[in-house]
Amino acid sequence: MSKLFLISGPCIVENETTPYLIAKSVKPICDELGIEYIFKASYRKANRTRVDSFTGIGDESALQIIQGIGKEFGVKTLTDIHESHEAAMVAAYVDVLQIPAFLCRQTALLQAAGETGKIVNIKKGQFVSPEAMKYPVEKVLATGNRNVWVCERGFTFGYEDLVVDATVIPRLKKHGVPVVMDCTHSTQVPNQTTGVSGGNPEFIETIALVAAATGADGLFIETHPDPANALSDASTMLQLDLLHGILDKVMRIRKALQS
């Protein structure tokens, strides 16, 4: 069993201090438990429901903060891109380019990400079967880039719910690439009449433990020291001080499987 990796950080770079605080807290937890840490933060949000939603502090400023965290803590960094013209520019700052779930079939976006040579983490669309994810993977592989991950984040169920199928991770692993479980966005309750998604973060631990038991190579957990006052995804991010307990249980499951 390969070393577990954790993609973790705030939903978005909302200021200069919070991302560093999170990275400073998460890195020693991962070091203690033998987990590879990958710092995550969106440099800009292009997919908010409401026109007045917070979308970022400025592209270059946010990317420089992400890059600085990677250098200071000696970790890989990840951010998401939404249009093909962003790929080359963002790749100069980070190690992993993430494709949002709703965009997982966008050929030009996938190809542009693949052509950077960076790791490409493709989130599985809430409307896509595990088996059909072979096609987004193939679009990246066709560029000659073999560094592809697939990330599960649940299936749309009705108008306002997501369902996580415990069989998805082993089914995704048949594509021959590392599989990540997004433990935070899988708890999302989308399409609220307020224009702001709700969530059930109390189930993050449950999803993480199931992912560990079914063979996930990595976990995606957005976290924040004060989620209620975060400027994006306040309803789904994990309270930062709860992360260690969850990861400790995850590693106990992995060790049990190894033995």
Average confidence (pLDDT) over 29-39: 98
pLDDT-derived band at 184 (thresholds 50, 70, 90) equals very high
Whether residue 210 has pLDDT greater than 80: yes
Whether residue 194 has pLDDT greater than 80: no
Whether residue 236 has pLDDT greater than 70: yes
Least-confidence region, from 103-107, 129-133, 189-193: 189-193
Residue with tokens 């033998």: 34
* Phi and psi torsions of 258, nearest 5°: -65, -30
Whether residue 258 has pLDDT greater than 70: yes
Confidence (pLDDT) at 191: 59
Confidence (pLDDT) at 199: 72
pLDDT-derived band at 161 (thresholds 50, 70, 90) equals confident
How many whole angstroms separate alpha carbon 163 and alpha carbon 176? 24
Confidence (pLDDT) at 259: 86
Mean pLDDT over each residue of the chain, to the nearest integer = 94
In order of their start, the domains of the chain are 5-258 (3.20.20.70)
Whether residue 137 has pLDDT greater than 60: yes
| Contact residues for 143 (Cβ-Cβ < 8 A; gap 6+) | 111, 114, 115
How many whole angstroms separate alpha carbon 109 and alpha carbon 11? 21
* Phi and psi torsions of 150, nearest 5°: -120, 135
| Contact residues for 53 (Cβ-Cβ < 8 A; gap 6+) | 45, 195, 196, 232
Whether residue 192 has pLDDT greater than 80: no
Q: In the Cβ-directed half-sphere of 36, how many Cα atoms lie within 13 Å?
A: 10
* Residue in 56, 55, 59, 19 with CA at minimum distance from that of residue 39: 19
Average confidence (pLDDT) over 79-106: 98
Whether residue 31 has pLDDT greater than 60: yes
CB 133 within 8 A of CB 150: yes
pLDDT-derived band at 26 (thresholds 50, 70, 90) equals very high
Which range scores top for mean pLDDT: 30-39, 52-61, 184-193, 231-240?
Answer: 30-39
Report the share of the chain in percent with pLDDT over 70.
95
